[in-house]
A and B are shown apart, each in its own frame.
Chain A
Amino acid sequence: MAGSAEAQLLEALRAGDEAAFAQLVREYQPSLVRVARIYVSTQAAAEEVAAETWLAVLNGLDRFEGRSSLKTWIFRILTNIAKTRAQRDGRTLPFSALQDPGRVPEAAVDADRFLDPEHPRWPGHWAVRPEPWPEDALVAAETQAVVAEAIEALPPAQRAVISLRDVEGWSSEEVRNALELSETNQRVLLHRARSKVRRALESYLGEDG
């Protein structure tokens, strides 16, 4: 949202414009629930966190000074509420994984897809090359379901990073601040997560070749 559009929206909200509020809710609700889902264990809990967030947004709206963007402010409220809720439910993001993901190495592609690193002619080159994916399959709803399942299957720290970066489209800095992790660790987690989603797509799209 551009600065001036946001200022207009704020003015409308403060003036009690119901349509403006409805539009804001429709725009952010799916994201709020998805981001809350990173912290809490069920969809129902994520929806409750989102609802609680909207109430907190309303309560804070008159005090909001616009030092951050409205979006950043709303998501900061959400993550605070979600973290509190997760703690209450005895569920916290595994910090060891966020802080030291490099401790356990993980290959983006199985080693058996490559020739031996000591191969005399083509060390470490593809033994089984990836094949181009059929374009018409990429727009299919089933393919989206494969992506959603692959995200769900990721370890929590990887799921958190890929959800914020790639699904929500947050910047690297926004994700670092929200999850309190270093740039390098974010890249490692993002890389592993994306590589696994690609693998899931490859195994699905390769089935009917």
Chain B
Amino acid sequence: MSQDTAQLSCQELVELVTDYFEGALSPEEHARFEAHAERCQGCGVYLEQMRVTIDLLGQPPAAGLPDGAERELLEAFRGWRST
């Protein structure tokens, strides 16, 4: 385990993941974060899990319109057009 990794514990790293993704870390913190994540298997897996979590969040199940809602909206559209 290197000095870099020793400076940032795994417990500290998991709290910096969002700041890391959002680009909110200073250049030094950013470098320290990456050095740790590259060399630490547990944190590598953790980071990947966070990426997968964000991916899954971005794929919500398709939700259609409630019954009749589209028809009502289209009727409203026709009404609007004729005014």
Identify the A interface with B (CB < 8 A).
Answer: 16, 18, 21-22, 25-26, 29-30, 33-34, 47, 51, 54-55, 58-59, 61, 107-109, 111, 114, 117, 122-126, 129-133, 138, 141, 143-144, 147-148, 151, 162, 166-167, 169, 172, 187, 190-191, 194-195, 197-198, 201-202
Say how far A131's CB is from chain B's closest CB, in angstroms.
7
Q: Chain B residues with Cβ under 8 A from A111's Cβ?
A: 11
Q: Are A108 and B10 in contact (CB under 8 A)?
A: no
15 contacts between A and B (CB under 8 A): A16-B77, A18-B74, A18-B81, A33-B63, A34-B63, A47-B66, A109-B14, A117-B9, A117-B11, A125-B40, A144-B59, A166-B58, A191-B17, A195-B14, A201-B52
Q: In this complex, what residue of A is CB-closest to B43?
A: A126
Q: Are A126 and B50 in contact (CB under 8 A)?
A: no
Interchain CB contact (< 8 A) of B53 among A18, A123, A201: A201
Report the separation of the CA atoms of residues A125 and B64 in the bound assembly, to the nearest whole angstrom. Answer: 46
Q: In this complex, what residue of B is CB-closest to A172?
A: B22
Q: Are A191 and B18 in contact (CB under 8 A)?
A: yes
Bitwise interface map of B from 1 to 13 toward A, beta carbon under 8 Å scored 1, else 0: 1000000011110
Q: In this complex, what residue of A is CB-closest to B46?
A: A130
Q: Are B50 and A198 in contact (CB under 8 A)?
A: yes
Report the separation of the CA atoms of residues A50 and B15 in the bound assembly, to the nearest whole angstrom. Answer: 36
Say how far B59's CB is from chain A's closest CB, in angstroms.
7
For the complex, is B72 an interface residue (Cβ under 8 Å from A)? yes
Q: Chain B residues with Cβ under 8 A from A129's Cβ?
A: 41-42, 45
For the complex, is B61 an interface residue (Cβ under 8 Å from A)? yes
A130-B52 CB under 8 A given contacts A25-B73, A108-B15: no
Q: Are B74 and A167 in contact (CB under 8 A)?
A: no
Q: Chain A residues with Cβ under 8 A from B78's Cβ?
A: 18
Interchain CB contact (< 8 A) of B10 among A55, A126, A190: A126
For the complex, would chain A's binding face be called helix, strand, loop or mixed by DSSP majority?
Answer: helix
Q: Are A30 and B57 in contact (CB under 8 A)?
A: no
Q: In this complex, what residue of A is CB-closest to B23?
A: A172
Bitwise interface map of B from 41 to 83 toward A, beta carbon under 8 Å scored 1, else 0: 1110110111011101111111111100110111011101100
Besides A33-B63, A126-B42, A197-B56, 17 new A-B residue pairs in contact (Cβ under 8 A), listed by A number? A25-B73, A26-B65, A30-B62, A30-B64, A34-B60, A107-B15, A109-B14, A109-B46, A126-B10, A133-B49, A166-B58, A187-B18, A187-B24, A190-B22, A191-B19, A194-B53, A201-B53
Q: Are A144 and B17 in contact (CB under 8 A)?
A: no
Report the separation of the CA atoms of residues A195 and B47 in the bound assembly, to the nearest whole angstrom. Answer: 11
Report the separation of the CA atoms of residues A187 and B62 in the bound assembly, to the nearest whole angstrom. Answer: 27
Q: Chain A residues with Cβ under 8 A from B53's Cβ?
A: 147, 194, 197-198, 201
Q: Chain B residues with Cβ under 8 A from A18's Cβ?
A: 74, 77-78, 81
